[in-house]
């Protein structure tokens, strides 16, 4: 499964090399290439436009500050970017009023087909989203990197410094936990 | 079913469904015996999708503007000094150590061996335990280099070492070591390139560094042929990438060569003004450059240099803010003295960008900003007018070439030395009442600047800070 790519791996690597060498223009290109994707990811996890905008800015600034430590050990830059996104979001959760981010519903869901089915899908996606947000941080990270961003297991593993097998186990446990949460709600 | 098998099956189904190869019903129908476990997990996984939102374009543009501003206030990204030691961590199989542990162990090892480790590391090859130490020592040489050209040289020396390692690895048919060394080579060339560009922007001589780069390229070609012969594809790809980058840099340098040549032949004289001390901003401020042709571009930088110097006496202006402006002004003055008008324009544009940033951040008062902006615009106006005047003269002389008036129409001037001067757009933020209207220079076109002049949707009144 491959995620949506906005630039080739080679282009990404070249820009990252230039940015690490101090080229701010190259980093601005990376910002342009990944802004929307990071924004959507954050919006999914915090549910408010204003928070998503602020956090997205923070993520890119932190990425610039930490770029010198970015390890090109098989983890693509954007996978590394989502690990920063996760840390920033988790830090936001800690600062926010307890679980206040769960109060916001995303209203943008849409589905093909008749309005009845559309409403049903919206409701289901929102229910799953709220459940995802209640997962433990490491599970939430793997689930969002895998299903929201369509990153490969090996890339997630490289970005998180875990083995692929470990990532698969976390993913499986997270899905089982989601299943339990959703079934409990239905009772 | 084992969890591992279920997870693999789930991944396959999600991949097939999201790619449109199968439907949920088809996937479940193919695995009837696993349906009970698979279906609920699959339905959940398929519900985790990014929301179909796009950021509001106006807010996004504003965010980008603010981000770029913030980025310019940040120090450049650099590898931590211990970075190359990372490879030590990766040399130890199946175990990850934290960096402080690696550094402590490396240090203890070096002390215990009285520098013998560093000596032994000199011959380390990619994949060897001491290779990380070798590259760490090399980075220290870069860090301690005193100027951009020296840093570029240090990077090129590292590049040459990597190239030698590529050759040795290819001799030994060690494709993995060749790949690691080739990637190190590509990275060193990229870093050298950035340093060369920065040195050029500061008007420093880079001929020696470019020669070295060219020499590396010749040697690299030989390594590339050897890599092709040995079918070391990864090393070949990294070498090609580095070669493209180096050649691009050399091409750019050769395009700029007339300017450098002009600088070398121009009889540039810096007439001291202000304090009269060479090397100070005031001393370089009243610089005038005289070229062989005897046509002068005179730009009096004394007023603006005095204003910048006055910032030093203001306790509320941080030293860093003042020094940044001073450095850019000095670089512009030095470039003018060398006859490098375009470099001067670039430095003055950087000066203007920093001025805007300082004002927005409230580091300088509105009065200081207004004064400095007016002086900056006056300098740019003179510089442009001089350049265009000479461009026009040349255009008249070369009427048969049909160049008359072109320079003015395009916002380009031509210096006495035949150097094109491209004046970037000058933004004219709304000034407080009572301030003389700003001058929009010819050739100013929206969107040419590297940064937006103001964030879309942001009222100029947002930007004015009294500062204090």
| Short-list B447, B382, B388, CA closest to B416 | B388
Of residues A81 and B282, the one with the higher pLDDT is A81
H-helix or E-strand spanning residue B422: strand B420-422
Looking at the structure, do residues A14 and A65 belong to the same domain, yes or no?
yes
pLDDT tens digits for B124-138? 888 777 777 777 777
Tokens in use for B108? Answer: 């203890």
Q: Which residue of B has its CA nearest to A175?
A: B41
Query: How many CA atoms does the CB half-sphere of B368 hold within 13 Å?
Result: 28
Confidence of residue B299 (pLDDT cuts 50, 70, 90): confident
Percent of chain B clearing pLDDT 70 (strictly above): 56
Tally of CB atoms within 10 A around B417: 23
Q: Which of B38, B50, B154, B455 to mutate to test the interface with A (most CBs of A within 10 A)?
A: B50
Q: Which residues of chain A have pLDDT under 70?
A: 1-6, 71-74, 97-115
Total number of domains in chain A = 2
- Give the pLDDT score at B414: 36
Per-residue model confidence (pLDDT) at position B412: 38
Which DSSP letter does residue B300 get? -
> Is A109 among the domain residues?
no
Of A111-115, A118-122, B257-261, B458-462, least confident by mean pLDDT is B458-462
Whether A5 and A96 map to the same domain: the answer is yes
The more confident residue out of A147 and B91 is A147
Distances (CA, A) of B385 to A90, B158, B183, B365, B463: 56, 45, 48, 30, 30
| Position B92 confidence tier, pLDDT thresholds 50, 70, 90 | very low
Q: Positive or negative CA dihedral for B339, B340, B344, B347?
A: negative
pLDDT of residue A52: 92
Task: Identify the band that residue B397 occupies on the pLDDT scale cut at 50, 70 and 90.
Answer: very low
Q: Are residues A144 and A172 in the same domain?
A: yes
Instruction: Place B289 in a pLDDT band, splitting at 50, 70 and 90.
Output: very low
Tell me what pLDDT residue B270 has.
Answer: 32
Q: Considering the domain boundaries, does residue A174 fall inside one?
A: yes
Q: Are residues A70 and A125 in the same domain?
A: no
Same domain, A96 and A125: no
Determine the pLDDT at residue B418: 35
- Torsional sign, CA B63, B68, B69, B71: positive
Contact A124 B48 (CB under 8 A): no
Other Cβ atoms less than 10 A from the Cβ of A70: the count is 19
What is the rounded average pLDDT for all residues in chain B?
66
Least CB–CB distance from A53: residue in B59, B79, B187:
B59
Burial of A179 (0-12, 13-18, 19+ CB in 10 A): middle
Write out the residue range of the structural domain in which residue A87 sits: 1-101
- From the list A57, A125, A179, the residue facing B67 with the nearest CB is A57
Q: Which residues of B touch A132 (CB under 8 A)?
A: 48
Q: Decide which of A42, A74, A101 is a domain's last residue.
A: A101
Distance from CA of A51 to the nearest CA of B (A): 12
CA nearest neighbour of B165 among B102, B249, B239, B260: B239
Closest-CA residue in chain B for A183? B40
Asked if residue A146 and residue A171 are part of one domain, the reply reads: yes
* A40 contacts in chain B (CB < 8 Å): 50-51, 53
- CATH for A97: 1.10.1740.10
Nearest to B45 among A18, A57, A175 (CB): A175
Pull the structure tokens for residue A129.
């989203």
Q: Return d(Cα A177, Cα A65) in angstroms, integer.
A: 35
Which residues of B are less than 8 Å from A23 in CB distance? 194
Specify the higher pLDDT residue, B324 or B270: B324
DSSP string, B92-142: STT----HHHHHHHHHHHHHHTTTHHHHHHTT--TTSTTHHHHHHHHHHHH
d(CA B345, CA B46): 56
Q: Which residues of B touch A168 (CB under 8 A)?
A: 4, 7
* Number of residues written out for chain A: 187
Residues A90 and A147 in one domain: no
d(CA B283, CA B203): 17
Report the range of poorest mean pLDDT among B48-62, B88-102, B403-417.
B403-417
Do the domain assignments include residue A173?
A: yes
CATH of the domain at A182: 1.10.10.10
Q: What is the pLDDT of residue B327?
A: 77
Contact flag B79-A68 (C-beta cutoff 8 Å): yes
Block residue for tokens 């493209």 = B244
> How is residue A107 written in tokens?
């209203």
Contacts of residue B41, Cβ cutoff 8 Å, sequence gap at least 6: A175, A176, A179, B6, B10
pLDDT for B85 equals 56
- Per-residue confidence band for B74, with pLDDT thresholds at 50, 70 and 90: confident
What percent of chain B clears pLDDT 90, i.e. is strictly above it? 1
Contacts of B260 (CB under 8 A, 6+ apart): B207
Q: Which of B299, B283, B306 has the alpha carbon at shortest distance from B344?
A: B299
Helix (H) or strand (E) holding B421: strand B420-422
The per-residue pLDDT for B218 is: 72
Distance from CA of A100 to the nearest CA of B (A): 19
User: Looking at chain A, which residue has its C-alpha nearest residue B241?
Assistant: A14
Q: Give me the torsion for CA of A46, A50, A53, A56, rounded to 10°.
A: -40
Say yes or no: A70 and A121 in one domain.
no
A79/A161 same-domain check: no
Please tell me the pTM assigned to this model: 0.46
Q: What is the pLDDT of residues B169-197, one digit of tens each?
A: 888 888 778 878 877 787 777 777 777 77
- Considering the domain boundaries, does residue A63 fall inside one? yes
Q: How far lies B222's CA from each of B41, B57, B219, in Å? A: 56, 50, 5
pLDDT category at B334 given cuts 50, 70, 90 is: confident
Shared domain for A94 and A25, answered yes or no, is: yes
The bridge status of strand B287-290 relative to strand B420-422 is unpaired
Contact A69 B80 (CB under 8 A): yes
Whether A107 maps to a domain, the answer reads no
Task: With CB atoms and an 8 Å threshold, state whether A175 touches B67.
Answer: no
Q: Which of B318, B319, B334, B323 is nearest to B279 (CA)?
A: B334
For B359-386, how does the pLDDT look when each residue is reduced to its tens digit (9 = 90+)? 777 778 888 888 888 888 888 888 777 7
User: Of residues A116 and B456, which shows the higher confidence score?
Assistant: A116
Q: What is the pLDDT of residue A147?
A: 92
Distance CA B404, CA B397 (A): 8
Chain pair A-B, CB pairs under 8 angstroms: 136
pLDDT value of position B274: 35
Contacts of B202 in chain A (CB under 8 A): none
> Which of A44, A73, A101 is a domain's end point?
A101
**What is the pLDDT, as a whole number, of residue B4?**
67
Domain boundary among A66, A101, A136: A101
pLDDT number for residue A82: 93
pLDDT at position B423 over 50: no
Q: Do A13 and A54 lie in a common domain?
A: yes
Residues A14, A88, single domain; the answer is yes
């Amino acid at each position: 499964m491959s995620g949506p790519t906005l630039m080739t791996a080679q282009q990404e690597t070249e820009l990252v090399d230039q940015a690490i060498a101090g080229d701010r223009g190259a980093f601005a290109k990376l910002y342009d290439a990944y802004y929307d994707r990071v924004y959507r990811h954050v919006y999914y996890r915090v549910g408010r436009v204003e928070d998503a905008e602020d956090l997205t800015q923070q993520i890119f600034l932190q990425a610039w500050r930490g770029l010198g430590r970015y390890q090109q050990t098989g983890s693509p830059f954007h996978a590394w970017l989502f690990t920063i996104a996760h840390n920033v979001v988790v830090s936001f959760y800690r600062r926010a009023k307890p679980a206040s981010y769960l109060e916001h519903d995303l209203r943008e869901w849409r589905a093909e087909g008749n309005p009845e089915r559309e409403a049903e899908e919206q409701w289901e996606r929102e229910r799953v989203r709220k459940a995802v947000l209640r997962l433990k941080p490491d599970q939430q990270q793997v689930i969002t990197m895998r299903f929201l961003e369509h990153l490969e297991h090996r890339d997630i593993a490289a970005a998180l410094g875990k083995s692929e097998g470990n990532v698969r186990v976390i993913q499986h446990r997270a899905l089982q936990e989601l299943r339990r949460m959703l079934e409990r709600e239905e009772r | 079913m084992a969890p591992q098998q279920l997870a693999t099956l789930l991944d396959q189904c999600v991949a097939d469904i999201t790619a449109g190869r199968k439907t949920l019903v088809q996937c479940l129908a193919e695995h009837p015996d696993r349906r009970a476990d698979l279906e609920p997990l699959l339905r959940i996984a398929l519900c985790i999708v990014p929301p179909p939102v796009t950021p509001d374009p106006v807010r996004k543009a504003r965010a980008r503007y603010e981000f770029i501003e913030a980025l310019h206030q940040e120090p450049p990204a650099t590898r931590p000094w211990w970075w190359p030691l990372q490879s030590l961590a990766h040399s130890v199989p199946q175990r990850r150590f934290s960096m402080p542990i690696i550094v402590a162990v490396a240090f203890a090892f070096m002390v215990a061996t009285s520098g013998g480790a560093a000596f032994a590391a000199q011959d380390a090859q990619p994949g060897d335990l001491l290779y990380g130490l070798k590259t760490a020592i090399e980075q220290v040489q870069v860090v301690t280099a005193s100027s951009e050209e020296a840093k570029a040289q240090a990077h090129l020396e590292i590049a040459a070492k990597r190239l030698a390692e590529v050759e040795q690895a290819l001799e030994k048919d060690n494709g993995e070591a060749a790949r690691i060394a080739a990637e190190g080579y590509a990275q060193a060339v990229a870093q050298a390139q950035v340093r060369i560009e920065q040195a050029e922007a500061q008007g420093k001589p880079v001929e020696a560094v470019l020669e070295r780069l060219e020499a590396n390229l010749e040697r690299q070609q030989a390594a590339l042929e050897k890599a092709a012969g040995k079918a070391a594809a990864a090393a070949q790809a990294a070498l090609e990438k580095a070669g493209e980058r180096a050649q691009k840099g050399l091409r750019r340098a050769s395009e700029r060569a007339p300017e450098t040549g002009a600088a070398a032949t121009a009889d540039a004289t810096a007439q001291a003004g202000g304090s009269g001390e060479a090397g100070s901003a005031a001393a370089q401020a009243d610089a005038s450059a005289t070229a062989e042709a005897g046509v002068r571009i005179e730009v009096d930088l004394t007023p603006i240099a005095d204003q910048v110097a006055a910032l030093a006496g203001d306790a509320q202006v941080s030293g860093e803010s003042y020094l940044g402006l001073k450095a850019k002004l000095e670089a512009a003055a030095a470039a003018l003295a060398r006859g490098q008008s375009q470099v001067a324009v670039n430095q003055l544009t950087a000066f203007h960008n920093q001025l805007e940033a300082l004002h927005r951040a409230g580091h300088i008062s509105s009065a200081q900003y207004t004064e400095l902006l007016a002086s900056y615009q006056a300098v740019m106006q003179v510089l442009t007018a001089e350049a265009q005047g000479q461009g026009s003269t040349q255009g008249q002389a070369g009427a048969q070439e049909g160049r008359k008036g072109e320079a003015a129409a395009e916002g380009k001037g031509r210096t006495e030395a035949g150097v094109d001067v491209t004046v970037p757009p000058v933004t004219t933020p709304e000034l407080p009442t009572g301030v003389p209207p700003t001058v929009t220079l010819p050739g100013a076109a929206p969107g040419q600047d590297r940064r937006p002049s103001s964030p879309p949707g942001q009222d100029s009144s947002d930007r004015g800070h009294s500062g204090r």
